[in-house]
Every structure is written in C-alpha cells, then in structure tokens.
Chains A and B, each alone.
Chain A
Amino acid sequence: MRTSPANAQIRPSGFAFRYDASYYLQKYAMKKLFKPSLAKAIFTDEQFWVPVVILTLGLIFLVFVDKP
C-alpha cells in the first residue's frame, strides 16, 4: 500500500485528502475489484483468447474493406 503520497494535502482537521487518481485506481479498482488471482484466471482461460483472435482478424479485415 502506498503511504504518504507527496501530493496529499493535510486539512486542518487532520483528514488527508488524496487527489491522485492512480491511488484510488490502485486501492479500489485493482485491489478490490480486479485481484491478481482474478486477472490470472481470465488470461489463462483459453476461452478468452477465442474472441480476442477473431476480433483481431475483424479489425484487419475492416482496414482492407475500407480501401476504395
């Protein structure tokens, strides 16, 4: 966990107000929603790569069909 970020403002009440987006991204999105084990489960799921490959082919084809 990150401690004492350089850009933290300390209010008179002592409440630390952090406004750097990366802190919240790391704290909430990455640790609570997307745990490393979850990312591993997704990327080692062979079913995941089927749509990824088809999508890549689709994008290549789109470039081709857009040529006049």
Chain B
Amino acid sequence: MRPEAKRAGRVTTSSLHGLGVACGLAAGAWLGAAEAPTKLVTLGFSPFLISLGTVAGVFVARWTVPMALKGTRYVVRDIREGPHLIVWAILAGVLWAVANTLTVFAIRGVGLSIAFPLWNTNSLVGLFWGWLLFGELRNAGARQLMKVLGGAFAIVAGACLLAYATSRQVGGPAGAATSGIAAALGAGLLWGTMYIPYRKAYLSGMNPLSFVTVFTFGELGAVSVLAIVFDGGFHGVLADLQRARPALFWLFLGGFCWVLGDLFQQYAAKYVGIGRGIPLSNTNQLWGLAWGALVFGETRGSTTAVLILILAGSLLMVGGAAAISLAEAQESEQAAWKRAMERECHRYGLDPDRLAARLRGEDDRAETSGLGRPWWELLITAVALGLLAWLALLARPQPIPVNLAWMAALTAATLGALLLGGFLLWKRTRFS
C-alpha cells in the first residue's frame, strides 16, 4: 500500500469533521479581522471604492497563496480536470463582489458591530441550499436535525435582537438604519447563495485552492464594473483611487486577511458541508464585534440596555452556530451526500471513486506539485510583495482612534488561529 493511501486510511470521518470544525473557527477569526478596514467608509470614501480596494488585495492573495501552497502546475491541472467549475467559480466571485459592496452600505447605515450579525444570516441561506440541492440533513436523524434547526432558529432570533438594538442605537438620518439592515440582509442572501458553487466544486473533487484562483476573476471583474458604473465612470474611479492612495494599503491588507479566512471557510465547506461549515465560520460575528467594540470603540456612548441587547443577540447567534457545528453527519446522511456527488459525476462525466477519495482528503494530484517550481512563480511572488511594499510606503495612518493594546491582543489570537488551522490542514490533507 502506498504511504499516501496508508495515511489517508487513518483519516477517519470523525477526524475530518474535527478538521472542518477547526477550519470553520479559523475562518471566523480571519473573516472578522478582514472587516476592520471597512471602517474607512466613515471617512467619506465611496463604498464602491472601498470594495475595489479590498478586492484588489483579495485578487493578489488568491493568486499567491494557492501558488505558494501547491504550485501553479497543480492548480492548472486541477482546473483542467473540472472545466465546468470555471463558470461556477466566476459566478460565485460575482455573487461575492455584489454582497461585499452591499456590506459597505450596511456598515455605513448601522455600523460594523451591528451589520456583521445581520449578514451572517447567510448561514441560514446556505443551510437551506445545502438541504435542497446537496442532500445535507437528509436522513440526518431527529437529534442531529434538532441541533441544526435549533441552531438556525437561534441565529434568526439573535439577528432580530440585534436589529432591534440597531433601531435604538442609530441616531442618523431617518431611514438610514432600515437601508443598512436591508443591505446587510441582502448581502447575507447573496453570500448564502454563493455557497452553492462552493459545494458544487467540492462535490466535484476540486481543491479549494484551485477554486479560489478562478473565483477571483469573477470578483475583481464585478467589483471593477460596479465601481465604474456606480462611482462616476472610469475617470471618477481613477480620481478616487488617487485620493484614497494613503488608505489603499489598509484595504489591500484587509483583502489579504479575507482570503485567508475564506480559504479556511472553503475547507470547512468541503469537509463538513455548507450547512455546518458556514455557521461555524460565522463566528466571525464575535471577532467583528470584538474589533468594532474593543479596538474602534463603536459602542462607546451606548446605553446599558443597548449593550445588553447586542451582547445577548451575539451570544444567541454564536450558541446557535455551535449547536449546528456539533451535529456531525451520520452514515445515513453521508449516503445522501454521496448521491449528490454521483449526480455531479453523471452530469459532468467525473469519476466517482476519485471524487470520493478527494472528499476524504486524499490527493491523487499530489505528484504534480512534486515537480520543480517554474520561474513565473517567483515572478508572481515578487510582484505581489512589491505591490504590498509600494502601498505600504504610500500608507498614512488613518484618523481613526484605535485601542492599540486590544489591537495587539486580537492580532495575536488571529495569527494563532492561522497557525493551528494551517498545521491541521497540512498534517491531515496536505492542503487537499
């Protein structure tokens, strides 16, 4: 037996569930940290410009991180094996971009610590699509079903509580809170629907690293078009970019953080499904609340009643997500997952045995990455680092008061999640 097969044999379903849970939690930390730069929207930059700046960082990171971990030859081979997923990945990228732009409107309307949990209702949307389209929760058993549905209702209740707190806290123009809430919920719907392509890709055996490499063309293309159409045309965008140059580094950095979180989220979707993986990654709500309240002082000046409402709503949502994540899929449910996979095989002419192995974390494409790295990978790395360094030189501190001690503590915790999640993924699947 090949060493890889022996290693794969040790990877049990339970350990893959644990891996998926760890990835989901790490995703929460990084997705939460990535939202902090959008605070800049309060400084008068256009939401479309903020989105474009962030997505530029996302685009660079989505090319460099997969390349660093697996190499371009591996990624190209993987994409060629499932060409239909190119269309799905681009579609997912466009969904992400529109949702991301809506979040900026949401933050402007109701603030980061409130908007966050509202758009995190995307987990409910993902749960629904997972059940409807991919056999998730089918034949799950009453106990598992109760955990998942109970968790889902807790998330909805938490969101309602936070929306109520919003209406008490926001003192801006009439209608701003309503518009912000609607934008946040719209983003949740779009993001929840974006998980359809995610699940589709992983049922088809694609590596998450390859998927995001194509995905990013959809998101950058869509955000560029949105910025040009809604933000005063091409020249308007260029002028705004020029004006925002001192802040671009922070947006770019936010994009980088987002990609790390998104990658963990993709692995969570692969190993525990979207119905479970997405609620777990939505613990970013806690991280977002921590960044907003502790670092940026967003809740400063709020009444005790509002603070209690925000805290209770957040805890309710996190409790719901935890209940969902503890509902490990049993054999009967996994049989339904298998049927969904076989549907993809039948429609797109894929090999069911290879796909099943890849869903267990085995990688028959691993030998490709053993070849020497081509010269262009060094060039891509140099361009990415050069761009980051150039933007860092242009960067100026933004006139936003921050609590440095809390910022250092949250940064350390986020890096810890990266190291732990990355180590587990490498140890068990070699980033497959």
Chain A residues proximal to chain B, CB less than 8 Å: 33-34, 38, 41-42, 45, 47-48, 50-52, 54-55, 57-59, 61-62, 65-66
Contacts and interface: CB of A to CB of B under 8 A. Distances in A.
A48 B189 CA distance: 16
Interface residues of B, number: 32
22 contacts: A34-B83, A42-B84, A42-B87, A47-B200, A50-B193, A50-B196, A51-B193, A51-B196, A54-B189, A55-B94, A55-B98, A55-B193, A58-B98, A61-B102, A61-B186, A62-B98, A62-B102, A62-B186, A62-B226, A65-B105, A65-B179, A65-B182
A66 B196 contact: no
Nearest to A59: B98
Interface of B is mostly: helix
B80 interface: yes
A38 B196 contact: no
Contacts of B404: none
Contacts of B357: none
A65 B84 contact: no
A51 B189 contact: no
Given A57-B189, A59-B98, A62-B230, 17 more contacts: A41-B84, A42-B87, A47-B196, A48-B88, A48-B91, A51-B197, A52-B91, A54-B189, A54-B193, A55-B94, A55-B190, A58-B98, A58-B190, A61-B102, A61-B182, A65-B102, A66-B230
Interface of B: 80, 83-84, 86-88, 91-92, 94-95, 98-99, 101-102, 105, 129, 133, 179, 182-183, 186, 189-190, 193-194, 196-197, 200, 226, 230, 347-348
A58 B186 contact: yes
Contact of A65 (B86, B186, B193): B186
Closest 8 CB pairs of A and B: A54-B193, A58-B98, A58-B190, A33-B83, A51-B193, A61-B186, A65-B183, A65-B105
Nearest to A53: B193
Contacts of B200: 47
A41 B347 contact: yes
A62 B343 CA distance: 34
Contacts of A65: 102, 105, 179, 182-183, 186
A4 to B, nearest CB: 29
Nearest to B99: A58
B83 A38 contact: yes
A55 B189 CA distance: 9
Contacts of A54: 95, 189-190, 193
